[in-house]
Amino acid sequence: MTDPISELLTRTRNALSAKHEYADVPYSSNIEKIAQILKEEGYILGSKTEKIEGHDVLRILLKYDGEGTSVIEGIRQISTPGRRIYVKKEKIPRVKNGLGIAILSSSKGLVTDRKARELGIGGEVVCFIW
């Protein structure tokens, strides 16, 4: 079975390169939380849960600027099932000098790097988005 976060990042990256309006990803609560963070940060238009062929799917509505360029320039998975990357609160990475975000899995749930610094917590670095 594939890692749900890897699936989300790959399907989103592929949909963006093909200029699709949305990306369908198998539903999970972590995926929904990541989509919520991306919406709050302005990287996507939104997301909604749908049932397709009897399976729950999260449809992520992608965001483009006026010229058809994707708002998301890059997505990179950091932790993988075989290699988890944990950081302490002092070592939380900055993505593109603060222009991107890192999503961390912490004791407070999934949070952005900014929120983790605010709360003074570290955690597992899930992905970078810029």
Kindly report, residue by residue over 78-87, the tens digit of the pLDDT: 999 999 999 9
Where in the sequence is the domain holding 96, given as residue range(s)? 75-129
Is residue 80 situated within a structural domain?
yes
Q: Assign residue 40 a region (left: φ > 0; alpha: ψ between -120 and 50; beta: otherwise).
A: alpha
Taking the model in full, what pTM does it have? 0.92
My answer on whether 24 and 46 are in the same domain is: yes
13: buried, middle or exposed (CB in 10 Å: 19+, 13-18, 0-12)?
Answer: middle
Is residue 118 situated within a structural domain?
yes
**Tokens at 40, concatenated:** 């709050």
Is residue 70 situated within a structural domain?
no
Is residue 109 situated within a structural domain?
yes
Regions of the chain with pLDDT less than 50: none
My answer on whether 88 and 119 are in the same domain is: yes
CA dist., res. 95 & res. 56, Å (int): 32
Is residue 68 situated within a structural domain?
no
What's the confidence (pLDDT) of residue 1? 53
CATH code: domain of residue 98: 3.30.1490.10
Number of domains in the chain: 2
CATH code: domain of residue 50: 3.30.1370.30
Is residue 67 situated within a structural domain?
no
